[in-house]
Amino acid sequence: MTTIHRGTSTASQPAVHWRQRGSLEVFNHHALFENYEEAGDHDERATLEIRDGRYLVFSRAGLYHALYDILCDRLLVNEQSPFHAAREATGAPSDINSPEWPRFYLQWKLTHLHQPIAQAMDEPRACEAK
């Protein structure tokens, strides 16, 4: 489980807190986004970076998983459980142990997470009223 939290910055506590697996405070009201990879796929090299001074981007294994617009204070793309969302998707193999599953799961992540995040960062946008 990876949870990204929003908070105020102090000398001892950064403004954004990153908790990796094992957090008991899963549904914290300060969470910016949460992403759980129960399948164990693409869970290596987790990174959190700020792009263009505007976007907070969470990625794993080079695939974008969540996007937060810092300027607009808005979560743009996130899927808390990509594995379950992909399992429920139309055309998903019924058996996750089938040889088709890894290819399907990767394509699902590319289509529903990585590409929309890349596109959102490439297209300048004004902040919408909340």
Residue 110 lies in a domain: yes
Residue 15 lies in a domain: yes
Residue 107 lies in a domain: yes
Residue 11 lies in a domain: yes
State mean pLDDT over 24-51. Answer: 63
Ramachandran class of 54: left when φ > 0, alpha when ψ lies in -120 to 50, beta otherwise: alpha
Percentage of the chain surpassing pLDDT 90? 43
Residue 128 lies in a domain: no
How many other C-beta atoms lie within 10 A of the C-beta of residue 46? 17
35 three-state secondary structure: strand
Q: What is the DSSP letter of 112?
A: I
Structural domain count, the chain:
1
Where residue 124 falls among pLDDT bands split at 50, 70, 90? confident
Residue 129 lies in a domain: no
Furthest-apart CA pair in the chain: how many Å?
A: 50
What length is written for the chain? 130
Mean pLDDT for all residues in the chain: 77
Residue 28 lies in a domain: yes
Using the predicted structure, report yes or no on whether residue 23 has a pLDDT greater than 80: no
Domain with 87, as residue range(s), is: 2-122
